Structure 1
C-alpha cells in the first residue's frame, strides 16, 4: 500500500476495536540492511521543518507530516519513526500556517476543505503542536469546529518506523519498514536492541477543554504501517484534542548526553538595535544553540555544541571549537567544556586506521562507523582533520583572555603542550615548515580542512589539486596557535615558548615565499599548495581566515581585505567560498561557490581585528540581509548567487539547519561590529564599533571575566560599556566610512 493511498482511502474499520495478531518481530540492523533499496542520493532538507533537543530531533513537511526521505523522529544518529501522517476521511487538508515557535517546538495549522461549511468560509481546522525532548516527542492534535453545523468525521494517524542509521538516510538508502505491534492505545516497533512506541492519550489537564467523546481503534495497515483511528462528532464550537507521544529506547548508548534547559552556559542575550533582521537572527541563533548542546558523559557539567541537524548532531572538533570561540563574548563556560571534552579524547598514540597521533585533536565522534556511500568509511572516533589541533590551542588562549580562570587553564597545560608538539612533530610531515594533510587510510576524508568535500581544492582553471595539500588558512591557524601557546607557556611559567615563537617565524616566512600569487587585480594568497608545492591559485574565501591572526603584515592585510570585498567573492549575501571568475564555479557547489555564514563571520571578525571596520560592516550587512529568507535560522550554507540577480538567497538543498557555527555567526558579527576585544590578564576591554545601520544599539547578556557586560551605542556614536569586571574599559566612537 502506498503512502498516498493510506491517506485517502476511507477506513473500513472505523469506530470499532480491531483485533489483529500483532506479535513483535525483532529485526537486527543486518537484517534491515539486506532489504535496502538502491541509494537515491542525499535527501534535500531545505524545505524541512526541524524541531530539536540534542541528541533528538523531528524533521517534517510544512504541513506537519513526516513524509519525505529525510523526515522522521531521530535520536542519537538513528531514525526511529520515518513516517507520521494525519488525514481526515480523505478530505483535503489545506495547510495554512507553519511556525517554528522555538528551537524545540513548532505549530502546524490546516483547514478541512468543505467540511462543516455553510458559507465559503472555512469551518473546521486542524492544529498540530509538536515539541521535542531528548528521546521523546509529543504532538498535541486538535480539531476545532468553528462552524454552525454538527460535524462527524474519522481522523486517521498512520505511522511507519525503519530504525535507519544516519549514514543510510544521508546516502538516500530506503530501508524496509519494520512491522509494528499493537498494545492498547499504543503502537510499538522493535529492531535489535532499539524500540519505538507511539501512544495516544488524553492531553494534560492544563490543555484539556470540555469536548466530544471519541472512539479509538488501533490497527495495522498492510504489514508495516500502524494506524490510530478516531471517530469524531463535534457540535458547533466544540474542540477535540488528543496527545501523541513518541518514545525512543536505544539499545546502544549515545556517545553524549542531553543538556537540561537550565544548564545553558550563558545568560539570555538581549539586543535592541535599528535593524530588526539582526535582532531576529540573534534571538533565533541563541535558541538553536541552546538546543544543540550536548554533555560529556565523563564529566556531565562539561557541555559543547553539536555541529548541526540533521547530519552532524554530535561532537565535531573543528565545528565545536569555532562555535565556542565565536560565543566567547557570552562567557567562557562553553569554551571550557568544549576544550575539556576534546582534551579527554586527545590523541595518545599513532593509529593508522583512525589517523590518531599523539597530541592531535579529533575530527568527530559517532556511536557507529559511518559508511558514506563513495567508499569513505569513518570509524566512530576519527582524527582526520588538519585544523582542529591549532584551533584548540587558540581557543584556550582566547578563553583565557576573556577571563577563563587561571586554575582551569592550568589544568589543560599538559594537553596544550601535547597539541603544540603535534604542530611541530606531526603536522608538518615533510619538514617544509608548513602544515599539510593526506588521507593515509584510503577510506577517510580526501580533504581535511573545513572545506572537506573531495572537489573543494581547485586551481583557477577548475582543475583539482592533488594531495598532500597545505591550506592557506591552516598556516594562519598554526601561526596564531604557536604564538598563543607560547604566551600561555610564559604566563604559566612553562618552558618551550621561545622555540614555538621561532617555529612560527619560520612558518610565516615559508608562507610569504610560497603562497602569494597575482592576477590583473593584484596580489593575493592562493588557497593551498599541492603535492608539488605549486600554489593552487583560485581566488577563495580561505584568505579571509588569515586576517587578524598575525600571519600577514599591514600591506598584505590591506590586499586581502580589498580582495574579499571584490564582486567575485562578495556580491552575494555573504562571502563566496570560491570566486565567480574561477573555472568550475557553481553557486550551488558545496565549497566551490556557495556561501557559508560561519566563513563570512570569520572574515568579518578578521577584518575588524585587522583594522578594517568599514570592510567588516559592509560584509556583515550582506549576511544579515540573508536572514529573512531563512526565517532567521541561518543554514549551514546557501547559494552564492549575486544579489543583483535575486532578491533573496536560494537554499542549498541538503544544508543542515540549524548548524552550530552558522547559529554562532551572528554573535561573531556582533562582536566585530562592536569592535569588542578582551584581555582580562592585562586588565583591558576594548569597544571600538564600526559605523553601522544598527545604531542606536543596546546589548545585554555579554560577559567578561565571568561577570555581566552591557554595551550601549547612541545614534551619534557615543559608546557606554558597563561591567564590574576588574578591567579598564577603553571606548571610542565608530569610524565613519
Structure 2
C-alpha cells in the first residue's frame, strides 16, 4: 500500500514516503533544547545527541550531530534530565551493577550542559557513592555531518565528516566545511583518542566516595562572522518583572518565558552604533532562529509592558531592509516589510525556493506601523519615533497601493516557488472553505484587513501628532475599509453571522470558522454587536479546545487536530484573542481562554511550544504535542506577557500623559503583585488584592486611571 505524506510549508503534491521515517521532518516533542541564539543544542531526554535532529547548532548549521557517552560493558540507565532555565540542562544516569553491594545504585553519571554563543560545554561527572573500588572505561563519541538546518528539517541529513586531531596545545578534534569551522577540546586529555571516528576514551578509577570529571568544549564559527550576532549579555532590552500570584502556573510560565526570550535575542550587524546594536527576537528554535518580520513584530508588541527598547530595535532592523524597488523574484515592493532573512537561498521539498531576503508576507507591513504607534504610546523616545516616520509613510503607501484594486489587502505568490499563503497561517492548506476546498489566490484574509484598519488609524495618529500631512486621508481610508469588510466578509451559518476567514480569488467568502476571529477583536474594525457575536463563537466548543483556540473549527471539513494550521492550537494566536476579548469588553471569555493556556503551560513544563495538537480537554487533561514544533518560540513565550497585560487591563498613552489599569480577570489569580514593568521609561508596579482592590505605582509623569 502506498503511504503519502504532506510536505509541511510547501505547495508540493503528496509524495510517496521513502521509508517509515526517512525524508520526513524530525520530531522534537521529547527533546531537550538549550539555547543562546544564534546557537542551540538539541538532545534526547537522557542527554545523548544521537537522533535525527539532535546536535549543537550555530547559525543554522549543525556543528555536532553526535555526542554520546558509553561505559564499556555497563548499561547506562537514565534517571533524570531536563532544563535549568533556557541555556543550561542536566542529566543523571546510573551505571547499572557497577560497584553495587545492595539494591541501591552506587555509581552515577551527572552530565551538565551549558550553551553559549558559538559554544557548548559538557561536563561529565562520575561519582562513586558505594563501598567498592571501581574501574571502567568511559568513551565519549563525537561527530558531525555539518548539515544545514534545512537539510536537517527535511530529514535528509548527511554523512559524517571525518575528524582530524587538532595540533594545538589542548588535545581535541576539528571539522570544517567551506566557511564553517568546528573545534572540540577535552580537559583532561583522553587516555585514547581515535580520529577520524571521534572517540575519546578514559580509564576511570574511583575509590569509595570519590568522583571524577571531564569537560568537553565545542566551538563553532563562520569565517565571515554571524549574520545576526548575539547581543552583549548586559544589554537586555526590557525590564524583568517579578510576579507573585495565587496561581503558580502563571508565575512559572512568565519566568520560563522571560528566560527563553532572553536567549532568543539577536542583533543587527547593520546597526550604525556597533557598541549598541539594535536587538530583535529570533522567531524560534530550532527551525526559525533568524529574523522573521511578522514574528519579531508581534513578539515586540506583546512585550511593550516591559519597555520599548526591543520594539525600537525591531522597527529599525526591519526599516533598514524595507522594500525600495519592485522585484518579483523576492516579492520586494516599495514600502513593504520583509518576511524572513537567511544566509542563503532556502530550498524546501524541491519546489519551494525562498531567496535569502524574502518579502512574501501580506501582514508584516501593517504590523510594523502598529508597533511604531503602540511603542510611541508606551513611551518610546519621540525623537526615535520621528526618525522612523518616513518608513511609516512608505509602509502606508504600500498598503494603499496594495489595496488599490478593490480596497482589500491580498496576496498571491509572484515567484512561482514561494509561499502560496502569506498570512501567519502560511502552510499551503491553511485557507479552506467550509467544505474543505482550498481557497485560490489572490486571497484577502480577514485578520489582515483588521491589521490594515488598525495600521491606518495608527498611522493617522502618528502623522497628526508629528505635524505631517495625510492623517485625515488615512482615517477615511480606514472607514471605507470597515464598510467594505462589513459588506463582503460577513456570512451566516446555523450558528449565526460571522466573518469568513478570507475572500478568494473570485471575491467569494471562504466560509470556514477559524481562530482568526480573535485577531479582529479590539482593533476597532468591529462594532459592539459584531464583537459580541465573535466572542460567543470563540468560546464555542468547536474553537475553544480547553487548552486554547483551534486554528480551524472542529466542525469544518478538513479539520485535523495535528494540522499545522487546520486544527492545531498556537499559544500566541490564543493570547491575541485573550487580549482582544478583554479590550472589547468580554473578560469572562478572555479568562476562560487564558486558563486554557495556563493548563497547557503546566503540561509543557512552562515552556509553551510554537503549537500543539487541538484534540481538546475531552481527549485528556494534557494536550498532545505537535511533534515537530519549535520550542521555545518567541511569540509563544511573549504570549505570557500579553495575557498578563490583558488580565491587568493595561493601556498606556504616554503622549496624552495617561496610564489605564483596569483589571479584568486578574482577580482570578489574586492576590497578585507584579513589580518591575515599565512605561515611559520608568518603573510600573501593580498589585491586585484578593478582594479586587488595586494599587499602582507609576512614573509621576502619568495620570493613572483605575477601574
Q: Which residue of 2 aligns with 1:141?
A: 124
CA deviation digits over 1:178-230, x for unaligned, max 9? 0001236201112122211111014xxxxxxxxxxx9621113xx5x310000
* Partner SS for 1:257: coil
Q: Which residue of 2 aligns with 1:189?
A: 175
Root-mean-square deviation (CA), in Å?
A: 1.3
Q: Which residue of 1 aligns with 2:705?
A: 730
Q: Which residue of 2 aligns with 1:433?
A: 407
Checking the alignment, whether the CA contact within 8 Å between 2:680 and 2:699 is kept in structure 1 is no
Q: Which residue of 2 aligns with 1:478?
A: 452
Checking the alignment, whether the CA contact within 8 Å between 1:597 and 1:665 is kept in structure 2 is yes
What is the TM-score with the length of structure 2 in the denominator?
Answer: 0.95
1:394 counterpart = 2:370: yes
Q: Which residue of 2 aligns with 1:29?
A: none
In the TM superposition, 1:409-428 aligns within 5 A as 409-425=385-401, 427-428=402-403
Q: Which residue of 1 aligns with 2:319?
A: 343
2: CA distance between counterparts of 1:571 and 1:414?
Answer: 43
User: Structure 1: 5+ residue runs without aligned partners?
Assistant: 1-35, 203-213, 733-737
* Partner SS for 2:318: helix
2: CA distance between counterparts of 1:105 and 1:46?
Answer: 18
* Partner SS for 1:568: coil
Checking the alignment, whether the CA contact within 8 Å between 2:192 and 2:200 is kept in structure 1 is yes
1: CA distance between counterparts of 2:78 and 2:391?
Answer: 54
Worse-matched range after superposition: 182-191 or 78-87: 182-191
Checking the alignment, whether the CA contact within 8 Å between 2:546 and 2:593 is kept in structure 1 is no
1:117 counterpart = 2:100: yes
Q: Which residue of 1 aligns with 2:4?
A: none
Checking the alignment, whether the CA contact within 8 Å between 1:572 and 1:641 is kept in structure 2 is no
1:456 counterpart = 2:430: yes
Q: Indicate how the Cα distance of structure 1 residues 215 and 289 shifts in structure 2: closer, same or farther if over 3 A, else same.
A: closer
CA deviation digits over 1:6-37, x for unaligned, max 9? xxxxxxxxxxxxxxxxxxxxxxxxxxxxxx99
Q: Which residue of 2 aligns with 1:279?
A: 251
2: CA distance between counterparts of 1:90 and 1:421?
Answer: 70
User: Structure 2: 5+ residue runs without aligned partners?
Assistant: 1-17
2: CA distance between counterparts of 1:137 and 1:158?
Answer: 15
Q: Which residue of 2 aligns with 1:207?
A: none
Deviation at 1:99, TM superposition (A): 2.4
* Partner SS for 1:74: strand
Deviation at 1:629, TM superposition (A): 1.3
The number of residue pairs the alignment matches comes to: 681
Q: Which residue of 2 aligns with 1:553?
A: 527
Deviation at 1:571, TM superposition (A): 2.8
One of 496, 509, 513 as aligned partner of 2:483: 509
Deviation at 1:251, TM superposition (A): 3.3
Deviation at 1:687, TM superposition (A): 0.9
CA deviation digits over 1:500-533, x for unaligned, max 9? 1111111111110110011111111110000111
Q: Which residue of 1 aligns with 2:76?
A: 93
Q: Which residue of 1 aligns with 2:10?
A: none
Q: Which residue of 2 aligns with 1:310?
A: 286
One of 194, 198, 201 as aligned partner of 2:187: 201
* Partner SS for 1:323: helix
1:81 counterpart = 2:32: no
Deviation at 1:249, TM superposition (A): 2.2
Q: Which residue of 1 aligns with 2:670?
A: 695
Worse-matched range after superposition: 54-63 or 37-46: 37-46
Instruction: Could you list the structure 1 runs, at least 4 aligned residues long, displaced by more than 6 angstroms after superposition.
Output: none
1: CA distance between counterparts of 2:177 and 2:322?
Answer: 34
CA deviation digits over 1:557-590, x for unaligned, max 9? 1101111111100033001100100001111100
Q: Which residue of 2 aligns with 1:705?
A: 680
Checking the alignment, whether the CA contact within 8 Å between 2:32 and 2:82 is kept in structure 1 is no
One of 317, 324, 335 as aligned partner of 1:359: 335
1: CA distance between counterparts of 2:453 and 2:446?
Answer: 11
Q: Which residue of 1 aligns with 2:3?
A: none
2: CA distance between counterparts of 1:90 and 1:660?
Answer: 44
Q: Which residue of 1 aligns with 2:355?
A: 379
CA deviation digits over 1:115-145, x for unaligned, max 9? 1101110000001100111111101110000
